[in-house]
Amino acid sequence: MSDSSRHTAEGAGWGTGERGAYRQLMPQQVEKISWLDPRMWWAARNGVLASWFGDPTGRTRGRWVTQRAAAGAPADKVIRRDDPERFSFLVIGDTGEGDDPQYAVVPGFLKVGLDTRFAVLASDVIYPVGSADDYHTKFFRPYRDYQAPIYAIPGNHDWYEDLGGFMRVFCDDAPPLPPEPRPRPLTRAWLRSLLWHRPRRDHGQHLAEARRLRSAPAQQAVQPGPYWAIDAGPVRIIGIDTGLLGTLDAEQGAWLREVSHGPRPKILVTGSPLYVDGRHEPCAIEGGGTVDDIVRDPAHHYVAAIGGDIHNYQRYPVRLDDGRTLQYVVAGGGGAFMHATHTIPRVNVANVTERDFRCYPLRGDSLAFYSRLYGRRLRMPRFFTLTEAEATAVIAERLGIPPTRVPGADTRVTRRVRLVAGLLGTGRRPDRAKRFRLPVRKIYTSLFSPSSATYSPPFFKCFLRLDVSPESVRLRCYAATGNRAQELAPPVEDEVTIPLR
């Protein structure tokens, strides 16, 4: 195992390390997604339309669930496996951009996952709109050598074509839903239907060919729908579908309460993390209550909640009033552009402080990454670019925390370094956040961050391995930088052992 980013700059992927061999896995021609391209925003417009004119996700999901039940899917949506009491599985989130950062994760994923029983893909299997035509290069090709089943929950991007591609791939080639009656003219639903993005009529023609890449019997997985539970060894893993807007419909909420009963230890996998960026996001359920209410209920015996959607790694060990500690994890670093961590302010939420909080990439590496990116983009590299040591030092200064990786003795935090850190939205201590908040920070985090695609290491991608026994779950976050050193020996960026008894 090589050094992690917490130990050395080389462990983070900085320097002149040899590029990994991941490019040998990629197709010759790769679609490069830019979220500054207006065509991408237009194709992915359904989320905005749902927030303006009403969200049809719950109704559509209900139709998919009804169709799967008629086809013989189990009514309780539980996948019952024959795993032993001691086994391991992988979790990887937000994978499907199909470019260098996604494929850079694959060598480490295969190496660490060699003896795992299955994998779970947590949110956004396919970008930009979940099209069936994209599964060849963004799912089947990258994971063709993973010799175990892969289960998945959809993210908002998988819903931009009404989940059709996802259901065909993961749910026994589910046929398209029959068209619904046209809504009444001049209603909100009518306006939404006029603008709604739909798949092409000929989409998915090459799916049969793509499936051959993962056609071995050991690789097959059929799930009962877009949300499900897996009974594996001593634990139950529950995957929920948070749709376009990050909420649950009433039917799925009732199911979640039902499958959460009982003493079996449970792990939630969700497309909308419940703690993220120093905030609590409990995830509303239609009709009342939240997902986190269910997770915290001591009668349900949850030990962890893992969410995708945000493209980095974060962990919040929340100690509840009854003395239990729940591990809330963000694990969306599987391949899509990197969401910044340097914009996360000093953490103080639910009694979780900086001493307990973990993230990857480290905030200093995130700031150095973005400073280089925007130095190139704005053609001002001499002004914008910060060394990883300068970025680490200014993060420690602004947040009032010790540096995670100690910078060199000659590192100075100059006026330029402070200005660049502020322009790039670097977080602060809560007592200073209001006083020094800049309008540019909101613009940066909402607009500029999604344009961070880069095609040379370090990529700061990650995935999880969970080792389950009757006594505990050992959760480890492995890094993938795109460099050869981290391919050969994927470093562990974070680790925690969760007791089950």
Residue-by-residue DSSP string for 248-277: B-HHHHHHHHHHH-SSS-EEEEESS-SEET
pTM for the full model?
0.95
One domain for residues 393 and 431: yes
Residue-by-residue DSSP string for 15-82: SSPPB-SGGGGS-SS-PPP-TTSHHHHHHTTHHHHHHHH---HHHHHHHHHHHHHHTT--TT-EEE--
Beta bridge partners of 284: 290
Show the low-confidence residues of the chain (pLDDT under 70): 1, 408-409, 431-453
One domain for residues 434 and 493: no
Q: Round to whole Å and give the CA distance between 356 and 123.
A: 26
Is the four-CA dihedral 252, 254, 256, 258 of positive or negative sign?
A: negative
One domain for residues 420 and 485: no
Residue 426 and residue 439 in contact, taking contact as beta carbons nearer than 8 Å = no
Structural domain includes residue 155: yes
Residue 95 and residue 125 in contact, taking contact as beta carbons nearer than 8 Å = yes
> What confidence score (pLDDT) does residue 133 get?
93
One domain for residues 430 and 470: no
Quick: pLDDT tens for 138-182: 999 999 999 999 999 999 999 999 999 999 999 999 999 998 888
Structural domain includes residue 348: no
Q: Round to whole Å and give the CA distance between 160 and 49.
A: 11
One domain for residues 241 and 322: yes
One domain for residues 142 and 266: yes
Q: Are strands 235-240 and 266-270 parallel, antiparallel or unpaired?
A: parallel
Half-sphere exposure at residue 476, Cβ-oriented, CA atoms within 13 angstroms:
16
Structural domain includes residue 349: no
Instruction: Specify the number of domains making up the chain.
Output: 2
In this structure, what CATH number is given to the domain that contains residue 208?
A: 3.60.21.10
Cis peptide leading into 142, omega within 30 of 0? Answer: no
One domain for residues 494 and 476: yes
One domain for residues 73 and 214: yes
Quick: pLDDT tens for 111-132: 999 999 999 999 999 999 999 9
One domain for residues 467 and 414: no
Structural domain includes residue 492: yes
One domain for residues 224 and 322: yes
Structural domain includes residue 2: no
> What confidence score (pLDDT) does residue 15 get?
87
Residue with token string 């909100």: 188
Structural domain includes residue 189: yes
Of the chain, the end-to-end C-alpha distance in Å amounts to 30
> What confidence score (pLDDT) does residue 203 get?
81
Quick: pLDDT tens for 240-276: 999 999 999 999 999 999 999 999 999 999 999 999 9
Structural domain includes residue 3: no
Structural domain includes residue 5: no
Q: Round to whole Å and give the CA distance between 397 and 342.
A: 13
One domain for residues 60 and 121: yes
Structural domain range at position 275: 10-337+456-499
Number of C-beta neighbours around residue 411 at 10 A: 18
Structure tokens given for 411: 């590192």
Residue 257 and residue 293 in contact, taking contact as beta carbons nearer than 8 Å = no
One domain for residues 400 and 280: no
